[in-house]
Amino acid sequence: MPYNELRKDYLLDRWVVIATERARRPTDFSKPKMESAKPALCPLCAGNEHMTPPAVLVYLPSEAGSVRKTEEEGDFRRKNWVLRTIPNLYPAFAPPKDPADADHVMSNLSFGNAIGAHEVIVESPNHSDHPADADLSQLTYVVNAYKDRLNELSQKSYVKYVQIFRNYGLEAGASLSHAHSQIIATPFVPTIVAAELAASKTYYNQHGNCIFCDLIKQESQSPRAILDNAHFAVFAPYASVNPMEFWILPKRHTSNILSLTNEETEGFVQTLKTTLKALKDLVNDPSYNYGIHLSIDKEAENYYHWHVEIYPHLAIWAGFEKSTGVYINTVAPETAAAELKKAAKYR
């Protein structure tokens, strides 16, 4: 190959240089992870419920072995739980203090109030129940909590988008090491999501298809394919901006996770666990971020397709990336996919 390749994202005007001359292999990134040691007193661990604000959602073990949502106000600080969701103590976005405030959100083009919500999903009473290692039943509670909170937050008049995401490891911004996800509801559709919506709408109008449905067909046959099961496809995107980046897409076209069936939920947590475990094994437990891209806009139902983008934290975006919005990736997505595919196979 005489030159490094420049590649554009499927949807975004986002370019990446696949800098293969450096020819990094996944194992080159193996290094001792910066450990955030388990604190003496973790506010998210079972028994320390008094250290957090009262929960907005609690799952309790039921006699039948499944869970039930708590309905009693007093239960929001109870101790016997399998999952709880709490407001963030320092919310970036907060609910309106006065109902009238909700209507005036974002009327101006250059500033507004950060009205919305910011919550923490405590995924397990056990400190280290991260997705690569947790039981599938525990991960099912997590995805159900994503659905429950999305369902409630997306009905608020002042909420235009709900970002569900997860930070794992100190280097990826997880200031607490207890297994948790976060949800931020915003009063506008954020930049990247808005660009994805616009581009997928254009594609739909031109081709009569969902671009993500077409991508699943195309990339499952490509050297970027990682995993393919009854309900989900996993591949390394053509213009990955992160080394070892991969995306998980549902095969059934739907714009968000609210309509996930039990069987699909099961397939999703299995896919999530398998791929994150493959990443963990391959690169010595790296830090990562993931975000669920979705739409809560009825109009987008035909053309938008929810999915998860997983960004391993293996490189630093430096002066070039921050100044230009162009990225340099030292691992070709095809290499990442081949290695992840192999690592996922033996699970």
Q: Which of 75, 133, 171, 301 binds its own copies (CB under 8 A)?
A: 171
Size of the site for its own copies (CB under 8 A): 66
Report d(CA 153, CA 149) in Å as an integer. 6
**Least spacing, CB of residue 74 vs its own copies, in Å:** 28
- 111 touches its own copies by CB under 8 A: yes
Considering the rule CB under 8 A, would residue 291 count as an interface residue with its own copies?
yes
Kindly list the distances between the CA atom of residue 83 and the CA atoms of 200, 256, 263, 280, in Å, as whole numbers in the listed order: 35, 22, 21, 24
Please report whether residue 176 would count as binding its own copies according to CB under 8 A. Answer: no
- Taking CB under 8 A as the binding criterion, the range among 44-52, 64-72, 112-120, 132-140 that sits at the site for its own copies is 112-120
Binding segment toward its own copies, per CB under 8 A, in 37-45, 125-133, 151-159, 321-329: 321-329
How many other CB atoms sit within 10 Å of the CB of residue 66?
12
180, 224, 293, 305: residue in contact with its own copies (rule CB under 8 A): 293
Distance, CA of 133 to CA of 152 (rounded, Å):
29
Q: Which stretch binds its own copies (CB under 8 A): 137-145, 178-186, 214-222, 296-304?
A: 178-186
Task: Map tokens 């209507």 to a residue.
Answer: 103
Q: Say what the alpha-carbon torsion angle 205, 207, 211, 216 is, to the nearest 10 degrees.
A: 160
Cβ atoms of 130 and 138 closer than 8 Å: no
- For residue 149, state whether it binds its own copies (rule: CB under 8 A): no
> CA–CA separation, 264 vs 120, rounded Å?
24
Q: Is 130 a catalytic residue?
A: no
Q: How far apart are CA 171 and CA 151, in angstroms?
A: 31
Q: How far apart are CA 83 and CA 177, in angstroms?
A: 16
Q: Which is nearer to its own copies, 105 or 340 (CB)?
A: 105
Dmax (CA) of the chain: 67
Candidates 79-87, 259-267, 278-286, 323-331: pick the segment binding its own copies (CB under 8 A): 323-331
Q: State yes or no: residue 32 binds its own copies (CB under 8 A).
A: no
Cα–Cα dist 301/31, whole Å? 43
Of 215, 110, 99, 232, nearest to 158 by C-alpha is 99
Give CA–CA dist 255/293, Å, rounded: 9
Q: Which of 118, 178, 180, 231 does the annotation list as catalytic? A: 180
Residues 80-109 that bind its own copies (CB under 8 A): 90-94, 97, 101, 106, 109
Q: Is 37 in the site for its own copies (CB under 8 A)?
A: no
Active-site residues, by number, are 180
Residues that bind its own copies (CB under 8 A): 2-8, 13-15, 17, 19, 21-22, 90-94, 97, 101, 106, 109-115, 161, 163, 165-167, 171-174, 182, 184, 186-188, 190-193, 195, 289-293, 309, 311, 316-320, 322-326, 328
